[in-house]
Amino acid sequence: MEEPANSVAAFGKAQAAGTSRVEHVIHWNHGNATERSEMVAVEEPLEIRCRGRAVTITMRTPGHDEELAAGFLLTEGVIQSRHDLLRMEPCNQINEDGTENNVLNVLLAPEVAVDFARLTRHVFAASSCGICGKASIDSIRTRFPVIESTAEIEVSTLITLPDKMRSAQVAFDSTGGIHAAGLFDGQGRLITLREDVGRHNAVDKVIGQTLLSGRQADVLMVSGRTSFEILQKALAARIPIIAAVSAPSSLAVEFAREMGQTLIGFLRDRRMNIYTHAHRVLR
Q: Which of 117, 143, 169 is the last residue of a domain?
A: 143
Instruction: Note whether 229 and 218 are within 8 A (CB).
Output: no
Per the prediction, the chain carries an average pLDDT of 85
Domain extent at residue 196? 153-282
The SS3 assignment for 79 reads coil
pTM of the model: 0.84
Instruction: Note whether 233 and 203 are within 8 A (CB).
Output: yes
Residue percentage of the chain with pLDDT more than 70: 85
What does the pLDDT average to over 194-198? 92
Nearest in space to 195 (alpha carbons), one of 210, 174, 225, 217: 174
> 36 in a domain, yes or no?
no
Q: How many domains does the chain fold into?
A: 2
The residue from 50, 91, 129, 132 that is catalytic is 129
What does the pLDDT average to over 23-43? 85
**91 assigned to active site:** no
pLDDT given for residue 259 in this prediction: 95
Position 132 pLDDT exceeds 70: no
How many C-beta neighbours within 10 Å does residue 50 have? 21
Quote the DSSP letter at residue 269.
Answer: T
Single-letter code of the amino acid located at 66: E
What does the pLDDT average to over 267-277? 93
Q: Which of 124, 143, 162 is the last residue of a domain?
A: 143
Nearest in space to 195 (alpha carbons), one of 224, 170, 225: 170
pLDDT given for residue 2 in this prediction: 43
How many C-beta neighbours within 10 Å does residue 10 have? 11
Q: Which of 116, 143, 170 is the last residue of a domain?
A: 143
